[in-house]
Amino acid sequence: MRFSRSDFLVVGIGTAVIAVFAFLYYRDITAKVQAGTNELIGTVVHKRKTAERKYAGQVIWEGVEDEVPLYNYDSIRTSDQSEASLRLNDGTEIKLNENSMILLVLDKNQIDIQFNQGSIIASREGTEGDLKKLNIKSGNASISVDKGDVKLSQNKAGDLNFSVLKGGAGIDTGKGVTNIGTDQALVLAKDSGDVTRYDLTVKLVSPSADSYHHTPSEKKQMDFSWLAVKGEYSVFFELSKDEAFANILQKKEVNGTAISLELEKGIYYWRVRAVQKITKEEEYSESRRFTVLWDEPIKLISPAERETITYRSTPPIIFFKWTKSEIALSYRLVLASDPLMSNVIRTFDTPQNNIVLDSLGKGVYYWRVEKNTGLKNIAGTSPSNIFELNIKEKELTAAPELVYPENAKKFSRKVLEKQNVTFTWKNIPDIREYDFFVSKDEGFKDIVFSGASKVNFLQLEKNLPNGTYYWRVAGKLGADESTDFSRARIFGIIDTEEVKLVLPSDNAVLPVGDSQKTASVRFSWLASEIKGHYKVQVSASKDFSPQYKESILKYSSNDTIMRIEPGSYYWRVVVVDDDDSIMADSEAHFFTVQNNLTAPVIVSPKNGYTVNMSDKDILSLSWSKVAGANLYRISVYQRKKGKEYKIAEIEEKGLSCKITDLNKLDESSFSWTLQAYEISTDKKEVLRKSPLVKSNFKITLGPVNKVDVKSLKVENL
């Protein structure tokens, strides 16, 4: 069979188009949110299981890995049984335990941590640079740390538990500053704001805080110890599943300084309570968190023990798989040449419980899988058992592998009357010619077409009746020798072929662009093999009468862009030949184009107002409701020497917000901006937004004189 230059050109162009769109699709799905121009302030040095970060001004959370950078105004959170360790540029280390969230703000020569929930440990040992102190803020409380290690947690009632493990710190609740030192702790009650300070006279020894302990069985024998309590005290050991000790698992009076318990896997908290025998006064140690991990053995799945894999000339593709481990962050596949694994040939690291290799030549291999827990304070875990694998080079050439059409592909009779179908398969270098067969039955007893090709494709020029057919290929090795047949595939001949619509999806809602009266809508569909004209039709009516817009494209286009006014529409794709005969069409999809949100109206402080803060400790910002909005983004700026500096970035669902950090509200000129958003229910997509509005105001700490009533108003908040 002879092929023209135009046939080869069509195949080449088709391949190039597929490659380009595959690259664009890959780049689109792998794109990440960027940090913008915010300053680099540190690094995520380690995370276990799930830790996420949200950039300033964004609503989308994304997962983080070890050694990723941190930027100013980043929010970090962890999920169940997860943790993250951060290191700031000055050497400050911050550890987040499970279900914790903080916001990092670098301001002048200090770092502010907005603590929202969970439990954190901050260490300022060995810091250097211009950052003089660390502030941890939660509600109305602000904790200042110069040097030392501190621990902060919040119970379900909202009370803050704060302890100093080393050095000193001060806490300001608005009722005065309370200073505490090493081995001291305090509790800040959420409702009353009362602060209770106490000394940690009961000191724990082992297990250490935030430690991990693994066991090959389902239970672990744990040994607890503490320093002897001096004086006449009754000593009680307490074990809980929560840091507030609301659900105590063990409460036992002990004689001495140790106790041993058998525990199942999970996260635990423990402490020691001492009761003065005469006064009955109680004293508590710090509470420590530890985790018991079940080091369940990994079981190898494939290749099976002593399995033999053969290949012709190219090393085979081998799929290694094993069972998942609850405590593993990643795995290491180890290959050796001896059953004792003493002569390691190669190792491969992967985060999944499988890996595909195509570089192993013939030989006998021994393999096992080791765990990486990602935990620095946990000893080595047990590896899997060892399997033997044999790879042999075979003499017979493997059967060809079919490529196109894919299995169960259906072709339109109208298309086949004017166009041929090209069948393709993977080329095998050892084969110079292929035999091609089409049959009406799966056993290939009723052959309806046969042919030969010296390349890895062939055009089916025979007109076949409607029905189901099978096709397969075999390679010729010599005059009387062939490979095995390929696996057979099915294809069908039908009256018409349907075009599959992609975007906009059915019932999609699209916004108009910023400052635009129309939306730029991309229409795309799955490209077929039909060589005709593609009519993209848009109408306000489901029967497409009349048509609102129409775009005509040539094969093999599969997308176009139109400007669409706000309204509700239907769209479809119709494929016609040069005579305008319909060769294929799609179903109709419905979509809606919506106007952007209206601009919000600032209520207070309005443009030109002066706010007297002499007797106030809260600056309130408020605005009117915007129909359709479910999120408002507020930015507050201070004007100094002709320049504006952002001092706050807030996202709010309601119609007001409050700024309580008075350190940022000096007598000066300020402005604030407001923008309304409609966010998708999964909070991952901005559907619509309003124009940005801005208001200028001033803050004074005394009476306002010489007020121009035409341009300036005073508002006491």
3-class DSSP assignment, residue 302: strand
Q: Given phi > 0 = left and psi -120 to 50 = alpha, else beta, which region is 266?
A: left
Q: Are 244 and 271 contacting, i.e. CB atoms less than 8 angstroms apart? A: no
d(CA 316, CA 307): 13
Residue 707 predicted with pLDDT over 50: no
d(CA 192, CA 479): 96
- Could you list the beta-strand ranges (E) of 28-159: 40-48, 51-54, 62-63, 68-71, 75-78, 83-88, 93-96, 101-107, 110-117, 119-123, 133-138, 141-154
Q: Are 222 and 263 contacting, i.e. CB atoms less than 8 angstroms apart? A: yes
**Two domains, one topology: 204-294 and 498-594:** yes
Q: Which helix H or strand E contains 15, and what residues bound it?
A: helix 5-30
Identify the CATH class of 40-199.
mainly beta
Whether the bond between 703 and the residue before it is cis, its omega within 30 degrees of 0, is no
Mean pLDDT in the chain?
83
Please state which of the ranges 188-197, 252-261, 365-374 shows the lowest mean pLDDT. 188-197
Per-residue model confidence (pLDDT) at position 15: 60
DSSP 281: -
Per-residue model confidence (pLDDT) at position 19: 60
Per-residue model confidence (pLDDT) at position 29: 42
Per-residue model confidence (pLDDT) at position 307: 93
Per-residue model confidence (pLDDT) at position 717: 34
Query: 18 pLDDT band (50/70/90 cuts)?
Result: low
Residue 156 predicted with pLDDT over 90: no
Query: 132 pLDDT band (50/70/90 cuts)?
Result: low
* CATH assignment, 300-393: 2.60.40.10
Please state which of the ranges 100-104, 326-330, 589-593 shows the lowest mean pLDDT. 326-330
Residue 709 predicted with pLDDT over 60: no
Per-residue model confidence (pLDDT) at position 379: 57
Query: 688 pLDDT band (50/70/90 cuts)?
Result: confident
Residue 712 predicted with pLDDT over 50: no
Per-residue model confidence (pLDDT) at position 699: 87
Residue 361 predicted with pLDDT over 70: yes
Q: Are 649 and 632 contacting, i.e. CB atoms less than 8 angstroms apart? A: no
Per-residue model confidence (pLDDT) at position 710: 37
Tokens 């209770």 found at: 196
The answer as to CATH 3.30.70.20 being correct for domain 402-495 is no
Q: Are 367 and 376 contacting, i.e. CB atoms less than 8 angstroms apart? A: no
Domain spanning 602-715: which superfamily? Immunoglobulins (2.60.40.10)
Query: 714 pLDDT band (50/70/90 cuts)?
Result: very low
Handedness of CA 335, 336, 338, 342 (dihedral sign): negative
Q: Which helix H or strand E contains 213, and what residues bound it?
A: strand 211-215
Query: 678 pLDDT band (50/70/90 cuts)?
Result: confident
Per-residue model confidence (pLDDT) at position 72: 87
d(CA 424, CA 409): 13
Q: Give pLDDT tens digits for 531-542.
A: 778 899 999 998
Helix-then-strand count for the chain, H and E: 2, 61
* DSSP string computed for 545-577: -S-SEEEEEETT--EEEEEE-SEEEEEEEEEE-
**Mean per-residue pLDDT, 307-311:** 86
Neighbours of 37 (CB within 10 A): 7
Give the rounded percent of residues in the chain with a pLDDT score beyond 70. 89
Q: Are 14 and 54 contacting, i.e. CB atoms less than 8 angstroms apart? A: no
Tokens 């910002």 found at: 621
Whether the bond between 600 and the residue before it is cis, its omega within 30 degrees of 0, is no
Neighbours of 678 (CB within 10 A): 21
Q: Are 374 and 48 contacting, i.e. CB atoms less than 8 angstroms apart? A: yes
Per-residue model confidence (pLDDT) at position 97: 85
Q: Given phi > 0 = left and psi -120 to 50 = alpha, else beta, which region is 99?
A: left
d(CA 45, CA 65): 8
In sequence order, which residues have a C-beta less than 8 Å from that of residue 483 and are 6 or more positions away?
A: 396, 397, 398, 399, 400, 428, 431, 474, 475, 477
Query: 386 pLDDT band (50/70/90 cuts)?
Result: very high
Residue 168 predicted with pLDDT over 60: yes
Q: Give pLDDT tens digits for 634-677.
A: 999 998 888 888 888 999 999 999 888 777 777 889 999 999 99
Largest pairwise CA distance in the chain: 109
Residue 396 predicted with pLDDT over 70: no
**Mean per-residue pLDDT, 593-608:** 89
Residue 478 predicted with pLDDT over 80: no
Closest CA relative to residue 634, chosen from 667, 680, 660, 671 = 671
> According to the 3-state scheme, what is the secondary structure of 312-360?
CCCCCCEEEEECCCCCCCEEEEEEECCCCCCCEEEEEEECCCEEEECCC
Q: Give pLDDT tens digits for 614-623.
A: 878 888 999 9
Architecture of domain 498-594: Sandwich (2.60)
Q: Which helix H or strand E contains 28, and what residues bound it?
A: helix 5-30
Give the rounded percent of residues in the chain with a pLDDT score beyond 90. 26
Per-residue model confidence (pLDDT) at position 461: 74
Please state which of the ranges 58-67, 543-552, 566-575 shows the lowest mean pLDDT. 58-67
What would the two tokens of residue 202 be? 């009961």
d(CA 474, CA 451): 11
Q: Are 413 and 493 contacting, i.e. CB atoms less than 8 angstroms apart? A: yes
Residue 705 predicted with pLDDT over 60: no
**Mean per-residue pLDDT, 28-48:** 67
Residue 33 predicted with pLDDT over 50: no
What would the two tokens of residue 538 be? 């848009």
Q: How distant, in Å, are the alpha carbons of 16, 447, 458 from that of 405?
A: 18, 19, 12
Cα 48 versus chain centre, distance = 14
3-class DSSP assignment, residue 71: strand
DSSP 541: S
Per-residue model confidence (pLDDT) at position 17: 58
Per-residue model confidence (pLDDT) at position 21: 55
Per-residue model confidence (pLDDT) at position 445: 92
d(CA 564, CA 209): 61
Q: Which helix H or strand E contains 252, and what residues bound it?
A: strand 248-254
Q: How distant, in Å, are the alpha carbons of 454, 659, 660, 678 from that of 621?
A: 77, 8, 11, 20
Per-residue model confidence (pLDDT) at position 538: 93
Per-residue model confidence (pLDDT) at position 212: 84
Query: 304 pLDDT band (50/70/90 cuts)?
Result: very high
Q: Are 564 and 571 contacting, i.e. CB atoms less than 8 angstroms apart? A: no
Gyration radius from the chain CA atoms: 35
Task: Work out the burial of residue 228: count CB atoms within 10 Å of its CB; fewer than 13 is exposed, 13-18 middle, 19 or more buried.
Answer: exposed
Pick the CATH number of 204-294 from 2.60.40.2550, 3.40.50.720, 2.40.50.140, 2.30.110.10: 2.60.40.2550
* DSSP string computed for 433-502: EEEEEEESSTTS-SEEEEEEESSSEEEE-SPPPSEEEEEEEEEE-SSS-BPPPPPPEEEEEES-EEPPEE
Cα 208 versus chain centre, distance = 32
**Mean per-residue pLDDT, 308-321:** 85
Assign 3-state DSSP to the chain and report helix, strand, coil percentages, each to 5.
5, 50, 45
Cα 534 versus chain centre, distance = 38
Q: Where are the domains of the chain?
A: 1-31, 40-199, 204-294, 300-393, 402-495, 498-594, 602-715
The contacts found for 484-488 with CB under 8 angstroms, 24 or more apart, are 484/396, 484/398, 484/399, 485/399, 486/399, 486/400, 486/401, 486/402, 486/425, 487/399, 487/402, 488/442, 488/444
